[in-house]
Amino acid sequence: MGIQRVEIDRLEAFEAGDFGWAAAAVTLTTGSDETAAFRWTAAFVLDSGVWRAVQVHASVGVPQAEVFGVDLAEGLSALVSSLGRDGAIEIADVAGSSGVVTLMFTDIEDSTVLSQLRGDNQWSRDIQSHFEAVARIVDDCGGKVVKTLGDGLMAAFAEASGASNAALRVQALEEDLQVRIGLHTGEAVVVGDDYIGVAVAKAARITSAAQGGETLISSTTRELLDGFGYEIGLERVVELRGLIGTHRIFPLLASGH
């Protein structure tokens, strides 16, 4: 497009725990001194101390505008069509889709101490065996393992009951490990083979609130389990790091099946 100069007229940014947002008013100038004003927004997640952009969006606040001789498409479908087949495939590969999912995080209590007591080789074998057993349970319960996270993992389920059954079966494994598990149901964005969004962060924070051998579920997940016969403990009202306000969580004790 022959951009010669980019001027940021206004920039605002703020954060909430591991999530951040930024917005800017930007003016672009071409070599022929044509100018156009854009709105720019971005969403970030904090990953190992580094803010990483997960979504960036630029727009012109004029419907059906023509900027620098380029007709702007209205809507994603029009944009993909304008790109042609190769461009559409490229967009489809990177664009995220969103949907409601029940997320399960697991974490082994005192894993650092256990790894020192057992030694690296034995601990590596124990963790691998644990992951394999959990992966089989997740698959049996209609979910999929999204990724492993050190001594824990993240799994996604289409149904809250499937995630709950998986969590109870993991806790029943005959292992000398105390596992913390957290479940939350909410809307998450699929990016490649991973999920991002506030729902992901909440599920992880609920896991951190659990004790070894305990499964905690959010109030949303608890409501979805009503009528299925699960034994659920008393409500706890807690703060979850990085998330605003207080949150209702419940111990998942047993299945009624």
Q: Which of 47, 17, 49 is nearest to 245 (CA)?
A: 17
For the chain, how many residues are written? 257
Q: What is the pTM of this model?
A: 0.64
Q: What is the pLDDT of residue 108?
A: 94
129-146 tens-digit pLDDT: 999 999 999 999 999 999
Residues 230 and 210: their CA atoms lie apart, in Å, by: 18
Q: Domain residues of the chain, as ranges?
A: 3-94, 97-254
Give the C-alpha distances (Å, rounded to integers) separating 23 from 14, 57, 182, 198, 237: 9, 9, 33, 19, 34
Q: What is the pLDDT of residue 140?
A: 96
Q: What is the pLDDT of residue 55?
A: 83
Q: What is the pLDDT of residue 21?
A: 84
Characterize the bridge pairing of strands 97-108 and 152-157: antiparallel
Q: What is the pLDDT of residue 96?
A: 54
Q: What is the pLDDT of residue 39?
A: 82
Q: What is the pLDDT of residue 95?
A: 47
Q: What is the pLDDT of residue 1?
A: 57
* Distance separating the N- and C-terminal Cα atoms of the chain: 63
CB atoms within 10 A of CB 224: 20
Residues of the chain with confidence (pLDDT) below 70? 1, 60-97, 256-257
39-91 tens-digit pLDDT: 888 888 887 778 888 888 877 665 444 444 555 555 555 555 555 545 444 44
Q: What is the pLDDT of residue 93?
A: 44
In CATH terms, the fold of domain 97-254 is Alpha-Beta Plaits (3.30.70)
Retrieve residue 115's tokens: 């790894």
Q: Which of 164, 19, 169, 191 is nearest to 92 (CA)?
A: 191
Q: Which CATH number fits domain 3-94: 3.30.70, 2.30.170, 3.40.50, 3.10.450?
A: 3.10.450
Q: What is the pLDDT of residue 230?
A: 95
